[in-house]
């Protein structure tokens, strides 16, 4: 019985303290005391209570613009968005911080987190990649500006990941044209892929895909174009063979070539 009573008393005291704390916070939000809000926002930020800190910061940021306290405040303001995973705003606010305080000791980490914010916004490869291109630009800018930064390995790793995402996007786009039998578009897309991504892990598939699309275009063409397009397929086969003589798709490429040769032999017989 004693412990039950004690437990109820503690819960009552905790609830009272909590209500008092909430009441004080709400009262502070409604006040005009920027100094108290600055101190409270700093304490809440350090305690990891980012949403409450943010509400106070948003009220006092205009009041401290141009003052000595503005620099740490604006960094915490940007970092609060970052910690809340609001990456659109953290990227933007960190950029503003770097522009406003170029000599700050926090410029390097602000630049890194701005770039990383854009990286976080990059969508899966099947969607529009506008944010991915922006992230690559920001990350490359960071690496160029801070070549000896401790964050450089992470930035380079993100750049590699984003480039691979763009490669996959372009490769799958070409493949999609092949699947829907738009062979001309597939050939053009595979050719662009080969030019744009010389070191890609999809390079062999792209060379093979170009040849396959050319072959399918040829055998589905009107009669007077078939021979010319079969000969073009042979040229694509030679390009494939030049780089992937021992490749895993060599056998498939050979099978296409055999059929091409068989079809072309008919033209030679007729001639």
Domains of the chain, residue spans: 41-169, 181-271
pLDDT at position 3, please?
A: 45
In the predicted model, what is the mean pLDDT of residues 206-212? 98
pLDDT at position 128, please?
A: 93
pTM of the model: 0.80
pLDDT at position 32, please?
A: 83
What is d(CA 234, CA 261) in angstroms, rounded to the nearest whole number? 8
Q: Check pLDDT > 90 for residue 20.
A: no
Do residues 95 and 62 touch, judged by C-beta distance below 8 A? no
29 Cα distance to chain centroid: 37
In the predicted model, what is the mean pLDDT of residues 15-34? 71
CATH 3.30.70.260 for the 41-169 domain, yes or no: no
DSSP E strands in 64-123: the ranges are none
pLDDT at position 270, please?
A: 58
In the predicted model, what is the mean pLDDT of residues 46-58? 96
* Tens of pLDDT, residues 148-163: 999 999 999 999 999 9
Do residues 200 and 206 touch, judged by C-beta distance below 8 A? yes
Percent of the chain's residues with pLDDT above 70: 90
Q: How confident is the model at residue 30 (pLDDT cuts 50, 70, 90)?
A: confident
Q: How confident is the model at residue 33 (pLDDT cuts 50, 70, 90)?
A: confident
What is d(CA 142, CA 52) in angstroms, rounded to the nearest whole number? 31
What is d(CA 257, CA 62) in angstroms, rounded to the nearest whole number? 71
What is d(CA 217, CA 239) in angstroms, rounded to the nearest whole number? 18
What is d(CA 251, CA 249) in angstroms, rounded to the nearest whole number? 6
- HEC per residue, 19-42: HHHHHHHHHHHHCCCHHHHHHHHH
Distance of CA 44 to CAs 62, 63, 75, 102, Å?
A: 19, 19, 15, 27
DSSP string across 76-92: HHHHHHHHTT-HHHHHH
What is d(CA 224, CA 128) in angstroms, rounded to the nearest whole number? 40
* Tens of pLDDT, residues 248-267: 999 999 999 999 999 999 87
Is 75 exposed, middle or buried (CB count within 10 Å of its CB: 0-12, 13-18, 19+)? Answer: buried
In the predicted model, what is the mean pLDDT of residues 8-23? 49
What is d(CA 115, CA 135) in angstroms, rounded to the nearest whole number? 6
């Amino acid at each position: 019985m004693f412990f039950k009573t004690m437990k109820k008393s503690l819960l009552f005291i905790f609830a009272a303290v909590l209500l008092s704390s909430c009441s004080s916070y709400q009262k502070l939000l409604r006040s005009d005391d920027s100094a108290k809000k600055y101190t409270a926002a700093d304490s809440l930020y350090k305690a990891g209570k980012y949403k409450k800190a943010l509400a106070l910061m948003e009220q006092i940021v205009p009041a401290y613009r141009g003052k000595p306290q503005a620099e740490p405040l604006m960094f915490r303001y940007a970092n609060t968005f970052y910690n809340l995973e609001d990456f659109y705003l953290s990227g933007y606010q960190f950029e503003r911080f770097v522009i406003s305080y170029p000599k700050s000791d926090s410029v390097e980490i602000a630049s890194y987190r701005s770039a990383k914010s854009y990286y976080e916004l990059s969508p899966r490869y099947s969607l529009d990649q506008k944010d991915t291109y922006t992230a690559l630009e920001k990350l490359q800018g960071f690496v160029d500006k801070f070549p000896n930064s401790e964050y450089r390995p992470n930035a380079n790793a993100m750049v590699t990941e984003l480039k691979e995402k763009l490669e996959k996007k372009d490769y799958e786009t070409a493949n999609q044209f092949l699947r829907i039998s738009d062979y001309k578009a597939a050939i053009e897309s595979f050719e662009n892929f080969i030019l744009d991504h010389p070191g890609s892990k999809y390079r062999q598939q792209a060379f093979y895909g170009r040849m396959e699309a050319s072959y399918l275009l040829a055998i589905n063409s009107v009669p007077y174009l078939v021979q010319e397009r079969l000969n073009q397929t042979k040229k694509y086969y030679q390009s494939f063979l030049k780089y992937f003589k021992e490749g895993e798709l060599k056998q498939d490429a050979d099978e296409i070539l055999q059929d091409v040769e068989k079809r072309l032999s008919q033209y030679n017989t007729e001639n």
